[in-house]
Amino acid sequence: MATLELYSKGASVWIPDPDAVWVSAQLLQDYSHGEKHLLLQLSDGKVSLEIMSSPTGLPPLGNPDILEGENDLTALSFLHEPAVLHNLRVRFLGYSSIYTYCGIVLVAINPYEQLPIYGEEVIDAYSGQDMADMEPHIFSVAEEAYRTMTREEKNQSIIISGESGSGKTVSAKFTMRYFAVVGGATQQTSVEERVLASNPIMESIGNAKTTRNDNSSRFGKYIEIGFGRKGDIIGANMRTYLLEKSRVVFQASAERNYHIFYQLCASRELPEMRSLRLGENAPEHFRYTKQGGEMQIPGTDDLSDLERTRNAFTVLNVQPDQQMELFRILSAVLHLGNVNIQASGRNSDRSYIDPGDRSLAVFSKLLGVEGPQMAHWLCHRRLAVGGEMLVKPMSGQQAVEARDALAKHIYGQLFTWTVQRLNSALRTQRGQAKSFIGVLDIYGFETFDRNSFEQFCINYANEKLQQQFNRHVFHLEQEEYIREELAWSRIEFSDNQQCISLIEGHLGLFDLLDEECRMPKGSDESWVRKLYDQHLNSEPHPHFQKPRMSNSSFIVLHFADMVQYECNGFLDKNRDTVFEELINVLKASQVDLCYISKLISFLCDWEITNLCLSAGKCVLCGQRKCSHREKNSCISVSEQIVYYFRQSLQFDPRRTVQQLRACGVLETIRISAAGYPSRWTYEEFFSRYRVLLQGPQSEEQAQASIRKALPQLIPDPDQYCFGKTKVFFRAGQVALLEKLRAERLHVAAVIIQSRVRGWMARIRYTRILWAAVTIQRYWRGALARRLALTLRHTKAAIVIQKTYRMVVVRQLFLMIRQATITIQAFTRGTLARRRYRQLVAECAAVLLQARVRGWLARQAYRRVHAAVVFMQCCWRRRAARRELLKLKTEARSVEKYRELNKGMEVKVMQLQLRADQEVGGEFQMDLILEQDSLYKEREDLSARLLDQEKTQEECVHEAVSQASAALRAELDEERRKYQGLLREFTRLEQRYDNLREMSLLTEIFAYVLFYVVSNYFSVLTSPLSPDTSSCPSPTKPATVTGLLECRKRDEAKLIKNLITGETEPYIRVDSALSLPPGLPASVLFLCVRQADCSGDQTRARSLCSAAVTAMKAALKVTSGFEPAWSTIWLWSNIKRAVHVMSGRLSLTENDLIRALSDLCIQAYQQLLSITEKRLQNIIVPALLESETIPGLSAVKLGTSRKRAGSDPRNVGCDVLTMASVLRELGALHTALSRQALPPTLMEQAFHQLTYLISATALNSLLLRKDICCWSRGMQIRYNVSLLEEWLRSRGLQAGGAVGTLEPLIQAVQLLQAAKKTDADAGALVQTCTTLSSQQIVKILTLYTPHSDLDERVTLNFIRTVQGLLKGRSEGQPPQLLMDVRRVFPVTFPYLPPAVLHAEQLVIPDSLKISFLHRA
């Protein structure tokens, strides 16, 4: 079938459009050869008639739906401009993906917004992964370069190109950060820090604001990052080229000068900057910073940027005083621009500078030069005429140009010096780099409304790079064909050698420019006339044209576009003349500062022969050398290309096509299309097109079946070719096979439908016949039952009527009877109540009369009683007075007094005794009453207090619970921070020891150290016997028994035998694990305990310190080895030491316990680190890629990206399954169980490991399109269920280990759930609660059907899900991947130690500690 037959009814084609560039249309009728028109229906429903002059004018065909959104453009069946544009549009707008592969090229579209795809978790996800398996990303390109460099030991380069504002600089920083993280081996050394610190410095002195970009790089740079034998960064080197020095003295409207000038102006108020005299209103004060009118960039802070720049200088060992001297020169450049040059003379052929010019004085003071000399030579020049030197004045314009040339020269040389200073700081200190990866950040092809010398140089460099790149792509194609042993012919592709020859060839543009620069009176106009004469009249060149309306410009037909250059300024910019006299003035600087004098000498270190008329050739040659140098250093090695397109949130088709052409992406596609762009492995082809094959169909005979059937499917043998492992197709043949497959499936579907419809019709007739008979039978039965029911209803109606009538009469009788009884009851009640009220009234009257009469009688009695008492009192008072007089008379007689006194003493004593008895009785009664009242009051108060206490207890309990929860959260956070700091301290300490020792350790030594620490833990966790549970007084050491005594001279030997080994470097691990748990720790603790109880605290501290130091050394040694058994053994012993030491020693134990606790945390973290390293490389193959359920997952479709020149995967490697993961976890669990560790610690350890497994697997799933399908989701769910079952069988589910798998489980459920209706969207949102909004949308975007029974997820469904997730995503951070480096804080439970006695220990002879004595 020819390609023309693909133009059938329903086929999709592309037609040009003035706005969208290309629009899709559908054929409404078949096309026949020779027809002059096509009937098309556009996407908006309109019908169009396309007129064609010849069959070659047919519109391009559209690719099959299976290739829509493909992540590699070269995998498309039809490789042409509309297909590329449509694929980029679908990926950018539909899938929100800014990266797309194009062979070895990564096409990137700048979305102008922050995306959460560059964090450390993304770096971890791409690290060590195959480029063919992951979604396109800048990190994937960097990883491919890094892996190729380490695997093949070949230097690599990454070329980042694009127009201004497309994101080249940011991508270069991301690439270097990736190398710093991956090459730093999780420890960012000073080299990586210096490599990353060079970015803010170069941005400050080399970037500026343009109309297209606020941080545009105005220079090209090439950074070589050197790597050592282990793949770690050991140095770097930077080379720059094409610095836009003209920006120093001139900026277009809405643009700025270099950032460093504005940063200096923003910091003018700082104390150290006041000596630079930058003025009060800078940068508006300086001519070199105010021309563009843009003083501030929105969203940026120049002052903080300068602080960042200074910090970067500090990282690169540039001291603050040296930085200030550098800023002095930059400030001098600003003041030089403000020097006022005035014209004088009759025809303004002279110029002068006012002697009191303030800017000149500041410039001279900053650089230490003589102001009058500088003013003189800015306005004069020296000429050699006839062997004599003459001084000639210059006009005002010439003097201004000389001043600007000096400023550009100073800045350019300062820029070069800074680069050299950075290179010296980045230079390796650890020997020669074994290999390097180069990152080239280069201008893309530029074309503006007005193009000058800068655009000419940039476009020339892009021409050279494009030529070499085309040859490199062609070379990769050849390598692929040779590897597959194809019989191929040379691929013809368009070359831009003619355009390059026009520029750099004999009598080319450069040669004529050199010649004109040497002419004494050369001008731009004369140079353009020579170009016209040479390339238009004498030898017309196909790539050179003359504009119709201009005589001062010329047109060059570049590979990307036709560019018109204005010749004004070409000669001046090429010469870049700086007069020798000005350089001599700078050389005579008298500045006292040593560092700035060196800088000035560097600025003046320029050959005099390059300063005058020959300067033009020097500059031009320098640019040529730069281009050739970058070509040789970058493209001669294996390369990765990253092209960046500048797009906003809206997709602009015209701008995209223009950039595709400018970046050479379409050229790459044309080269691929000229050969065999579509490549399928035989297994993939067999899986997809087995319906087109004939004969026995088995995967073992797939290649033979394909070789036999393909000639019948595609008669033209030139359209395909068989390789060793792949079958290759020309452009369009995949679409042809898709059409044949669709037709074959259509025919098969028709046959199946006819058979099924006949079978369904027969089944339907049988069912109808059986249903008719059944209905008749049931209908007749229903009629008979209806008659019988009628008879029964008639009889029942009569019975009901009789019964109803009886019930009605009886109810009437009962109602009348009840009414009569009710009336009688109410009447009798009324009469009784009336009689009762009468009796009550009579009784009340009688009672009132009795009460009144009693009251009157009592009143009369009280009056009589009062009168009688009064009369008695009067009489008695009278008798008492008489008796008193009588007694007074008798008292005057002494004898009477004595007689009376004798009797009075007895009476007084009797009266006193009687009074005391009476008072005591009354007092006791009062006390009893008061006690009763107090008792009652106390009971009331107790009841009230009890109620208040209950209320307060409830409030306190609630407050305590809230406070305890907050304190517990704060404690966990502090514990996490502390353990993180401890881990960082351990890493730094390890790094210091590695740098100091630089020695390799054996695995046996690691095992021995593990044995020692494990034993130490066991012993210290073992408890003492009852007689040693408390330390006795030092004066009675004989009462303590069950301890071990170690003499002072034997301490080192004890530590060596228990921890570091005596006869061997380390104790064997098998013998260590065979010992009882904690035996070394028990021995050491009993020795320390004996020294402490005997009063020798110095020896106890010494032994403890020696043990701690030895265990630290053991942990450091075992940290570098893969087996984790040593660390488990150490961890178990140290943990037990913490419990045993606490509260059992009389010496000061805080420092010891703290040191042991830190060692315990360090051993735990080291154990997890080693285990994670062992699991890291098997998680993804075992959990995501392995087929535990055979035959469920289909073979990966052939539309997946196959890079030309990439090495095929190793087929003979062992297949990793979930058994590998469970084997590692089981070995760890067994080792932990043998050390008798608490279950909570094991739960925490496996909680951390299962989180790593879940996060790593989920991150890989989110970045791999081939994993996101229904069948693969079923495989993953089964693998996860195996892990869950394993955790539950070991009783580890209580620690949250199973819960960490929930995100991965929900992601798998998302792959298996229905994804069509709004109800399905709501169910997905309710199910996936632990997944973030970005993760859900990403999985839906990557979902790829691997069979015809499945469908892609529509964009409308994805938008519906996004709408439902909008409210939930507001409080979530914009993070796509999980943080695999997250560390959960560990809590060590306190377990009271049991009794420990020396006689209980069974010490084997292998430990060789018989020198210990029992005490």
Q: Residues forming the annotated binding site?
A: 162-169
Report whether 1402 contacts 1076 (CB < 8 A).
yes
Q: How far apart are CA 345 and CA 393, in angstroms?
A: 10
Report whether 1011 contacts 1073 (CB < 8 A).
yes
What's the alpha-carbon Rg for the chain, to the nearest Å? 50
Query: 């890094």: which residue's tokens?
Result: 146
Q: What is the DSSP string of 289-335?
A: HHTTS----TT--HHHHHHHHHHHHHHTT--HHHHHHHHHHHHHHHH
Q: How far apart are CA 1074 and CA 1070, in angstroms?
A: 6
Report whether 623 contacts 457 (CB < 8 A).
yes
Report whether 653 contacts 705 (CB < 8 A).
no
Q: How far apart are CA 477 and CA 483, in angstroms?
A: 10
- Provide the sign of the torsion angle of the four alpha carbons 393, 395, 399, 405, taken in this order: negative
The DSSP call for residue 451 is: B
Cis amide linkage into residue 283, ω under 30° from 0: yes
Q: How far apart are CA 112 and CA 115, in angstroms?
A: 9
Report whether 1265 contacts 71 (CB < 8 A).
yes
Helix or strand or coil: residue 126? helix
183: tokens are 């090459």
Report whether 647 contacts 110 (CB < 8 A).
yes
**Residue 211's CB: how many other CB atoms inside 10 A?**
15
Q: What CA dihedral angle connects 248, 252, 258 and 264, to 10 degrees?
A: 90
Query: E strand or H helix at 219, and its extent?
Result: none
The DSSP call for residue 725 is: S
Q: How far apart are CA 1107 and CA 1016, in angstroms?
A: 8
Q: How far apart are CA 1180 and CA 1155, in angstroms?
A: 38
Report whether 1111 contacts 1134 (CB < 8 A).
yes
Q: How far apart are CA 666 and CA 674, in angstroms?
A: 12
Annotated binding site for ATP: 162-169
Look at residues 1180, 1184, 1182 and name the one whose alpha carbon lies nearest to residue 1308.
1184
Q: What is the DSSP string of 457-512?
A: HHHHHHHHHHHHHHHHHHHHHHHHHHHTT----PPP----HHHHHHHHSTTSHHHH
Q: How far apart are CA 771 and CA 753, in angstroms?
A: 26
Report whether 672 contacts 106 (CB < 8 A).
no
Q: How far apart are CA 617 and CA 602, in angstroms?
A: 22
Q: What CA dihedral angle connects 1023, 1025, 1026 and 1028, to 10 degrees?
A: -90
Query: 């044949």: which residue's tokens?
Result: 740
Q: How far apart are CA 325 and CA 366, in angstroms?
A: 9
Q: Which residue type, as a one-letter code, is found at position 1029? A: S
Q: Name residues whose C-beta falls within 8 Å of residue 147's C-beta, 6 or more positions apart in sequence.
A: 128
Q: How far apart are CA 1197 and CA 684, in angstroms?
A: 6
- Provide the sign of the torsion angle of the four alpha carbons 691, 693, 696, 698, taken in this order: negative
The DSSP call for residue 136 is: P
